[in-house]
Structure 1
């Protein structure tokens, strides 16, 4: 073999090997990092849920001892539809717009309707925006002492904004 062809061949082999090995690609990596994640009350969270600054908000809504938001309506008329406007506020305190929806849960959850209807699709809240929510409760067919609903679960999703 001539020396010149050998040197050129050796150079091509070296550059091909460097290209294959030196790309910086990897299949997996594991790294431990510190993280600080804390639970906060509903009134301080990214999706703030708080009593509306109204008579109905003052009467029916507030923060429980454990920091969660609660609505308490003790005396509903039987076989009636009760409308309570402006009970609580849902506010986006995060750093991006989100779609918000809610799911009323419990044995008789279908007796409760939210206004606006956060159960039938996503409502978009921009950063710092809020919506004030009222309740309609239909006790038709319920008996004295029946629980109407025990939870309203909220979901916020930036991809739905």
Structure 2
């Protein structure tokens, strides 16, 4: 009987040790190579499309001829040479933002360079959703449903904007 107990105890210890060595099948990390297909597109045909606003203001101030949209407020064809100092200038229907993706996105803009200087001189806004909505900063995001668009207006409030130069506008779309 004692040998039988030793045998059963030995089998039990072997089974317990084997289970501990094998574990539960969980893992800590995996490294695997997979193929990815990515295609880039210009601003006008990307998933978040940036297109001119379709009116005379966008014709004067928005350039969509390259792969990226650019703005130029240094002059017009009628001999104007820039925005007024110590004034508020509003330019409607500058740019259309189209969500060509498959899900809604929260959209906002940020600015850097001479167009910001610690004071927000430039304010893009839209009146597409029942009232004017400023889009500067992540706290001012607007939802753009898949397949929908918004048209952006620009307000330049420049009571002390006396420098010339440029900057960068960053468009943010988060699903």
Give TM-score scaled by structure 2 length. 0.73
Matched, 1:72 2:72: yes
Kindly tell me the number of residue pairs found equivalent between the two proteins. 155
Distance 2:53 2:88 in 1: 21
Give 3-state SS (helix, strand or coil) of 1:43's partner. Answer: helix
CA RMSD of aligned residues (A): 2.5
Give TM-score scaled by structure 1 length. 0.79
1:118 is matched with 135
Structure 2: gaps (5+ residues): 75-81, 127-133
Give 3-state SS (helix, strand or coil) of 2:44's partner. Answer: coil
> What aligned pairs does 1:1-150 form with structure 2 within 5 A after superposition?
1-3=2-4, 6-7=7-8, 10=11, 13-14=14-15, 17-18=18-19, 21=22, 23-65=24-66, 67-74=67-74, 75-109=82-116, 110-116=120-126, 117-120=134-137, 121-143=140-162, 146-147=164-165, 149-150=166-167
Distance 1:127 1:19 in 2: 51
